[in-house]
Amino acid sequence: MSRFWSPVVQTLTPYVPGEQPQMQRLVKLNTNESPYGPSPKALAAIDQQTNDDLRLYPDPEGKALKQAIADLHGLDPKQVFLGNGSDEVLAHVFLGLLKQKEAVLFPDITYSFYPVYCKLFGIEYKTIPLGSEFEIKTADYQLSNGGIIFPNPNAPTGRAIARSEIEALLAKNKDSVVVIDEAYVDYGTQSCIPLLQGESCPENLLVVHTLSKSRALAGLRVGFAVGHPALIEGLERVKNSFNSYPLGRLAQAGAVAAIKDQAHLEATSAKVIQTRNRLIKELNTLGFDTLPSTANFIFTRHPKHAGEKLYQALRDRGIIVRHFKSPRIEGFLRITIGTEEQSNELVATLEEILVKA
């Protein structure tokens, strides 16, 4: 601990990202990256922008990317906010929209960056327990609050709720912002973005997306939020007080092309869904209990084997998954959906581990 740290730094427990190991032989199923590459059109657009113009600053507003996102979702560009990955977007959301007099609400088991942001920005928060089946129960959020945020589908559980439930929550929670984090929405969850279309756009709904998962651009760092123009204006004020140029030229060019290539998104997402459904069935035959998932990962446990021991046994054999030591979920493994070949190797390895255990 340095004596030169600001007081707030001494109180922080930073977010711990998924490991990026350097092992030579590795089946990497721990950080929910896409098993398939990005759109070839995105790669071509990035290559085209790799020229002497990199000496110039990028468009600070990201107009072309905002327009592409707006066109895809039937919105106005004034409803779109851009950031350096959805994590930066969420940071601006916590500071710009969720720092209120009352506590912000989010699930007790969810994306672990949420409490980190609250502690960083001095935001009071209250966690709402998931149900007995690890589901989000929107009725439990009908409390006085300074904002509500949760992923749909939730992470790390992979469980989703219907858009109609979120609509009902919005109808009963009109005095604070409701933020829906849709990082994994393209793998089988109803998006809330259609609620933002036209004159009926609610003033208090914000939907956050990333290009790191289904669009396979985790290495490019592009995220966005969509909502009422007044919410977006607030986020822009925060962004321009922090970093006017969050997205470089290459990131913007690649993101525009990726957004426009909906066919690639749909094809790769369909392959992930097919592999996910097959993997769940095969794990069930091995005795695993897997939560329903509409994400590019599953959350699974074996009633006769500790999660941490299974995690270590897989790691010893070159397969990396994610294990959390938090209460209620220490028995689970979060497994990213990989290729068919990776899935086959995972199942075969688990069979071997269970036989020897």
Q: How confident is the model at residue 2 (pLDDT cuts 50, 70, 90)?
A: confident
Q: How confident is the model at residue 25 (pLDDT cuts 50, 70, 90)?
A: low
pLDDT at residue 9, rounded to an integer: 83
pLDDT at residue 69, rounded to an integer: 98
Q: How confident is the model at residue 19 (pLDDT cuts 50, 70, 90)?
A: low
- Apex 117 CA angle, 116 and 122, nearest 5: 105
Task: Please give the Cα distance from 306 to 37 (Å, whole number).
Answer: 34
Residue whose C-alpha is closest to residue 236's, from 244, 278, 312, 115: 244
Is a pLDDT exceeding 90 seen at residue 36?
Answer: yes
pLDDT at residue 20, rounded to an integer: 67
Q: What percent of the chain has pLDDT over 90?
A: 92
pLDDT at residue 124, rounded to an integer: 98
- Apex 244 CA angle, 77 and 216, nearest 5: 65
Is a pLDDT exceeding 80 seen at residue 357?
Answer: no
> What digits encode the pLDDT tens for the residues 285-336?
999 999 999 999 999 999 999 999 999 999 999 999 999 999 999 999 999 9
> What digits encode the pLDDT tens for the residues 233-251?
999 999 999 999 999 999 9
CB 308 within 8 A of CB 325: yes
Average pLDDT score over the chain: 95
Is a pLDDT exceeding 80 seen at residue 263?
Answer: yes
Is a pLDDT exceeding 80 seen at residue 21?
Answer: no
Q: Where do the domains of the chain lie, and which CATH numbers do they carry?
A: 7-37+263-356 (3.90.1150.10), 40-261 (3.40.640.10)
Is a pLDDT exceeding 70 seen at residue 259?
Answer: yes
pLDDT at residue 12, rounded to an integer: 78
Residues 6+ apart with CB under 8 A from 125: 103, 104, 105, 106, 114, 115, 118
> What digits encode the pLDDT tens for the residues 116-147?
999 999 999 999 999 999 999 999 999 999 99
Q: How confident is the model at residue 5 (pLDDT cuts 50, 70, 90)?
A: confident
Region 82-108: mean pLDDT is 98
Task: Please give the Cα distance from 322 to 32 (Å, whole number).
Answer: 10
Region 5-28: mean pLDDT is 75
